[in-house]
């Protein structure tokens, strides 16, 4: 079993960029675009406990902002268990992290994100 901890330095700028884009779109009330960047940050950071938990925290806050009971309720278990699953390497690769998708279902990763992983030397 492989234990994951901190997000690799080569991957961190892409994760940070998605969170910055999220914050910019969120501040401008472009909520659909903001959510898209949160999902991308989730996919990039989901193998790493802190990054994974941070995104679920932001998703919970987003759910509160848009007054989505489903998102708030769906994020609570993801927030509590997502980081633990990351730590032990048991994540559904490509899952965008929202309450609108099953929490344990893997998803295909879009080509642009796959290239980010490849260029960062992240392979499974």
Q: Where are the alpha helices (DSSP H) in the chain?
A: 12-27, 31-45, 49-65, 69-87, 111-119
Q: Taking the CA of residue 103 as centre, how many other CA atoms within 13 Å lie in the half-sphere pointing to its CB?
A: 18
pLDDT tens, position by position, for the chain (124 residues)?
556 678 999 999 999 999 999 999 999 999 999 999 999 999 999 999 999 999 999 999 999 999 999 999 999 999 988 888 888 878 899 999 999 999 889 999 999 999 999 988 886 5
Q: What is the pTM of this model?
A: 0.93
Per-residue pLDDT reduced to its tens digit, 9-26? 999 999 999 999 999 999
> What's the pLDDT score for residue 85?
85
């Amino acid at each position: 079993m492989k234990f994951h901890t901190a997000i690799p330095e080569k991957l961190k700028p892409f994760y940070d960029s998605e969170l910055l884009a999220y914050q910019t779109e969120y501040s401008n009330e472009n909520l659909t675009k903001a959510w898209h960047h949160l999902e991308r940050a989730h996919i990039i950071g989901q193998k790493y406990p802190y990054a994974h938990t941070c995104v679920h925290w932001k998703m919970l806050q987003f759910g509160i902002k848009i007054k989505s009971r489903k998102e708030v309720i769906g994020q609570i278990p993801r927030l509590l268990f997502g980081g633990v699953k990351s730590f032990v390497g048991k994540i559904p690769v490509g899952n965008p992290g929202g309450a609108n998708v099953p929490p344990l279902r893997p998803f295909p990763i879009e080509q642009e994100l796959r290239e980010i992983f490849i260029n960062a030397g992240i392979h499974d």
